[in-house]
Amino acid sequence: MNNANFKFHNDVEIPKIGFGTWQIPNDEAYDSVTMALKNGYTHIDTALAYQNEKNVGKAIKDFDLPREEVFITSKLPAQIKGFEETLKAFDETITNLDVDYLDLYLIHAPWPWDEIGKDCTEGNIQSWKAMEQLYNEGKIKAIGVSNFEIKDIQALLDNCDIVPMANQIPFYVGRDQEDLLAFCKEHNIVVEAYSPLATGELLKNDDIKALADKYDVTPAQLLIRYCLERDTLPLPKSTHEERIVQNKEVDFEISEEDMKQLMQMDDVRK
């Protein structure tokens, strides 16, 4: 395996750092994604719910890389559950992006965002079966979930054929979710870390600043490197070019001792 990639259990590879587009409005998405591609990102993460797929897709198209050189992830909206509903939403996404296939398609969350915690097990199973069908037809190279807890993944393992290839979760220093991480590792599920900077809140933390100084990197670089050291795939998001560049330059190692210190930190968002 190329050291710049993670490999899913079906042998499809995914670049180790992705460009996240959550909270990038549609009118800024074109420029941000173009900047990311220009600066060497080959993995772009979007979702129907972000309402920026059209400009994300246009930026990728205009940049004119061969399709197989860009890894594109999108997501089934959290409130859409069911077989036919999933097929329909997938069509909308590939139409928005103007692509023939997706590299990775995720169930955005186990429950609708306005009903967090609701039991939607049956709906998730039906959506997953639709995603398995799309996968078997070659319209998606890998399928996965997002914001799923152990019990949500277990329901798919118990009732469906394909083990999810990825689980995209909020993951940053102080929010390690060790049990979920271990469960995913055991089932060969790649963990993708969204909000690796705790949506920016960890950047002002004094301990993070001090440790970043020690390695002569920025707090953002330290936090992104931390995700990689924990075998998770960071999806940093920025609309500023110098930050977009910086967030990919994380070729250093955090010592075991410093990792221990970071792993003991509390969640700054709690």
Which residues are catalytic, by number?
A: 50
Q: Does 243 bind ligand A2P (CB under 6 A)?
A: yes
**Of residues 110 and 236, the one with the C-beta less far from ligand A2P:** 236
At 66, list the tokens: 């061969």
Cα separation, 48 vs 70, whole angstroms: 18
**Of residues 139 and 237, the one with the C-beta less far from ligand A2P:** 237
* Contacts to ligand A2P from residues 17-76, by CB under 6 A: 20
- Return the percent helix, strand and coil in the chain, to nearest 5: 45, 15, 35
Between the alpha carbon of residue 96 and those of residues 51, 57, 82, 146, 237, the distances in Å are 10, 7, 21, 21, 21
Applying CB under 6 A, among 86, 96, 167, 195 the residue interacting with ligand A2P is 195
Minimum Å distance from CB 172 to ligand A2P?
A: 7
Q: Does 199 bind ligand A2P (CB under 6 A)?
A: yes
| Dihedral angle sign, alpha carbons of residues 195, 198, 200, 203 | negative
Cα separation, 268 vs 204, whole angstroms: 10
Place of tokens 């959550």: 22
Applying CB under 6 A, among 26, 79, 239, 261 the residue interacting with ligand A2P is 239
- Which of these, 66, 79, 13, 70, lies nearest to 46 by C-alpha position? 70
Q: Does 197 bind ligand A2P (CB under 6 A)?
A: yes
Minimum Å distance from CB 11 to ligand A2P?
A: 29
Radius of gyration for the chain, computed over Cα atoms and rounded to the nearest angstrom: 18
**Of residues 20 and 82, the one with the C-beta less far from ligand A2P:** 20
* Contacts to ligand A2P from residues 209-238, by CB under 6 A: 218, 220, 236-238
Q: Does 203 bind ligand A2P (CB under 6 A)?
A: yes
Helix/strand number for the chain, H first, E second: 10, 10
**Of residues 16 and 237, the one with the C-beta less far from ligand A2P:** 237
Q: Does 240 bind ligand A2P (CB under 6 A)?
A: yes
The answer to whether 231 touches 182, Cβ cutoff 8 Å, is no
Q: Does 268 bind ligand A2P (CB under 6 A)?
A: no
**Of residues 185 and 240, the one with the C-beta less far from ligand A2P:** 240
Residues that bind ligand A2P (CB under 6 A): 20, 195-200, 203, 218, 220, 236-240, 243, 246-247
